[in-house]
Structure 1
């Protein structure tokens, strides 16, 4: 079987002992939701102009499971942010990063519903629009790339773990381990930086503004989403940001990880994790540093 995370492996990942976690509330009506996504949110009390993190689960998962896995909901009060944990229930709970509807700004796909969650949160809880972030693992990382291509004016920064470039699965029958064309996950779409960048631009044609900064991580032992996908993401976003590789720092941010810095490091960095499979474990401290929280 090709793909990203199997349903069985996700079930094992989330077979964790129950731990105390900040409470999530479900928001049933947050605006146009063409694909029936679910929105769960943690809103700490007494925050003034909070930041926002949109956190996207892997295939087979859910927003509540990803909240437990990442711990983002537990840090909101201290770091002054709201966290949104959406859930997809179609195509083995993977995010749609393949259809024409989702690979288009306001195209009435999954990306539209996710953007409307963010807009609802900004309006409802007085979120600082300059502090809106998106992150995700596996399928969630794939959708992270799509979201910052489709809604670059909505997000400030992004981090993601073990995904693919925006538009990599364009034209695939689906986005799950069962339905997806394996060419993308296998890293076999051989495009140059300008061509990868064009795939992102095609999601929001005519946009001429700046794109959110991105920090992306991948493991060298990933046999489900091959590590060539890290190179493809970095090629895509280096072109969009107009930056090139300037430094490679070993053992950063930890032993066995190699950091790739583009330009001055303020717009794009990548991390290759030696002997790490699918997926790279979420490093929330690294995320918070990238987000400035």
Structure 2
């Protein structure tokens, strides 16, 4: 009986993985892709004026794995959105959030290729340009911060799980736990809020428009990307948005999580998850609520 149960469990997991893969279509030519990223996309049928989510996997992952992990593709039809699940294949499959090329708008790094995917989707599937969102976990969260700094005009909102502020790894030899300068992940880069904000602005110099709204989450027991990185993200984006901490709500959105609200809570919120390590699990309902889906 135990063998039968184990076999059935493995079969179920394989079936879920196969379903996730079947929901994705590969797009080999989507525009400027200087670092050779892969674009897989879930496009539900018969969507009118759809929204779009760019979903960024953690180090060691892939787009298809993140599709299975998040379950976004399962809700696309019901909630009216398309999801792009990109893949990085360099530096242990981490996103480049360290090089000058990637930390510059249209600089020729990973961020350029990701922006090309978004632009391709908007044109090809008639996506509502006012309802384009980005989210990610760990390395994907780090790149989420970079994308809303480099392409603030492409995205309306972002959610972020267990990452670092935009530009935190600037000048590091790499972006993975193996190649990166550990100072950033350890939360040991001591900048003022104004300096953190400037690091984000330096990615798109001269931009004077609005930035996307952000909800970012981190765990208190994270020993890989220390929780001080949550404070640094919140310092960076609260300065950019011109908002300050107005409320702290315990047990929100669930028991053990503490919500930090900035301003009226429509531009920036943070969540600190007690006794949660790396990474904070993706909360699809929080994402959908923040995105308005």
Q: TM-score range by the shorter chain?
A: over 0.9
The corresponding residue for 2:212 is: 212
Equivalent in the alignment of 1:38: 38
Using the TM superposition, give the Cα deviation of residue 16 of structure 1 relative to its aligned residue in structure 2, in angstroms. 4.9
Query: Are 2:43 and 1:18 aligned?
Result: no
- For structure 1, list consecutive stretches of 5 or more residues without a partner in the other structure: 1-14
Partner-residue secondary structure (3-state), 1:229: helix
Structure 2: runs of 5 or more not aligned: 1-11
Partner of 2:237: 237
Query: 2-side partners of 1:113 and 1:78: how far apart?
Result: 28
Q: Which residue of structure 2 lines up, in the alignment, with residue 145 of structure 1?
A: 145
**CA deviation string 1:249-279 (max 9, x = no partner):** 0000000000000000000000000000000
Tell me how far 1:184 sits from its aligned partner. 0.0
User: Any idea what the Cα deviations from partners look like across 1:73-126, whole Å, max 9, x if unmatched?
Assistant: 110000000000000000000000000000000000000000000000000000
Instruction: Write out aligned runs for 1:17-96 (5 A).
Output: 17-19=14-16, 20-21=19-20, 23-96=23-96
How far did 1:18 drift?
A: 3.4
Structure 1 distance, partners of 2:265, 2:129, is 23
What residue is the counterpart of 1:272 in the other structure? 272
C-alpha spacing 1:17/1:254, structure 2 compared with 1 (3 Å): farther
Partner of 2:292: 292
Structure 1 length-normalised TM? 0.94
Q: SS at 1:123's partner residue?
A: helix
Equivalent position SS for 2:64: helix
5 Å-filtered alignment, 1:194-205, equals 194-205=194-205
> Which is richer in helix?
2
| CA–CA separation in structure 1 for the residues paired with 2:165 and 2:275 | 22
How much is the aligned-residue C-alpha RMSD, in angstroms?
1.0
SS in 1 for 2:77: helix
Q: Which residue of 2 aligns with 1:4?
A: none
How many residues in Structure 1 have an aligned counterpart in Structure 2? 279
The structure 1 segments of at least 4 consecutive aligned residues displaced by more than 6 Å after TM superposition are none
Cα deviation code 1:18-73 (max 9, x no counterpart): 31436100000000100000000000111111000000000000000000000001
Deviations 1:173-227 (A, max 9, x none): 0001110000000000011110000000000000000100000000000000000
3-state DSSP of counterpart to 2:15: coil
Greater RCO, CA 8 A, separation 6+:
1
Tell me, in whole angstroms, the C-alpha distance in 2 between the residues paired with 1:65 and 1:278. Answer: 17
Change over 3 Å in CA distance of 1:44–1:244 after alignment to 2: same
TM-score, normalising length: structure 2 = 0.94
Deviation at 1:17, TM superposition (A): 4.7
